[in-house]
Structure 1
């Protein structure tokens, strides 16, 4: 198989896998989600949290789905690089349970997110890390646990 054909095949394999990752997360089929990884690992960049290995990742799923049982993705758009699939999407959920000591507010959020799904080099077919970027203030303000920045006195004088 020539290089161009292999890249095209690998791109299809990775895109199918990432879409299965999104679907199984939203459906809370976490065993299926874990199976999209070679070794499960999440890096949540705005909080500095790292969940490495199946037990830690499953703990992350448990905590976040207790807080946001309807967590899901909308408007998923994918881009490909040699060793990653980059996803832009909106993350949505309703705060119905505690999250790291913050009691449920019952309020919903929608937040733009960028996630990098890394693969092992330019030949890997399973995810080795999901690195997620989002703005925590966007979520906190919508949930009512932080005031809008302009109300906090940080706006122009």
Structure 2
């Protein structure tokens, strides 16, 4: 199916308004971009389905990151979707899922797939690396650094101990390590 230039233009205008309304904190306008509001955050497994749940997501995320903003980097058309690349910014100034504010900022490169039925938006599916954000907020450590390895060993002694034991047993038996 080839999209008409007119349909592509209407969809693109809708997505641009979606991004801009989130930055203005005009969440009624953001909700109005959907036929039925639905956010799927792939990294966390969270799904917010319906206007009440999506508004709860906005309150929760902007309560923790009141300056949260996005910057659209690229937009790609597909038959039933628009795929976007963007940067998300924010400062952790409020509680988020039991985590007290760190006062630290994050910048994360993300991708979102906006799914359409005709010209009507029915879902925003967001892909991102949650560990990158947690590291920037000081909540997690890079596992490739000494600090990260120590934190992993202290926080997960059975997992790390089991890995060392399996490695030692493979060496004793002459078995090659798995890549």
Q: TM-score, normalised by structure 2?
A: 0.79
Instruction: Kindly indicate whether residue 139 of structure 2 is the aligned counterpart of residue 142 of structure 1.
Output: no
Q: How does 1:22-37 map to 2 (within 5 A)?
A: 22-37=19-34
Aligned residue pairs total: 148
2:103 match: 106
Superposition RMSD on alpha carbons, in Å? Answer: 1.4
Deviation at 1:97, TM superposition (A): 0.5
In structure 1, the gaps of 5 or more residues are none
Instruction: Kindly indicate whether residue 65 of structure 2 is the aligned counterpart of residue 71 of structure 1.
Output: no
Q: Secondary structure at the match of 2:40?
A: strand
Deviation at 1:126, TM superposition (A): 2.2
Instruction: Kindly indicate whether residue 128 of structure 2 is the aligned counterpart of residue 128 of structure 1.
Output: no
- Deviations 1:84-134, CA, capped at 9 Å, x for gaps: 0000011111111011111111100000100000001xxx22210000000
Take 1:25 and 1:74, find their aligned partners in 2: how far apart are those partners? 11
In structure 2, the gaps of 5 or more residues are 153-179
Q: Secondary structure at the match of 1:89?
A: strand
Q: TM-score, normalised by structure 1?
A: 0.90
1:59 match: 56
Take 1:139 and 1:83, find their aligned partners in 2: how far apart are those partners? 30
Take 1:54 and 1:99, find their aligned partners in 2: how far apart are those partners? 21
Of residues 71, 93, 108, the one that matches 1:96 is 93
Instruction: Kindly indicate whether residue 25 of structure 2 is the aligned counterpart of residue 7 of structure 1.
Output: no
Deviation at 1:75, TM superposition (A): 4.3
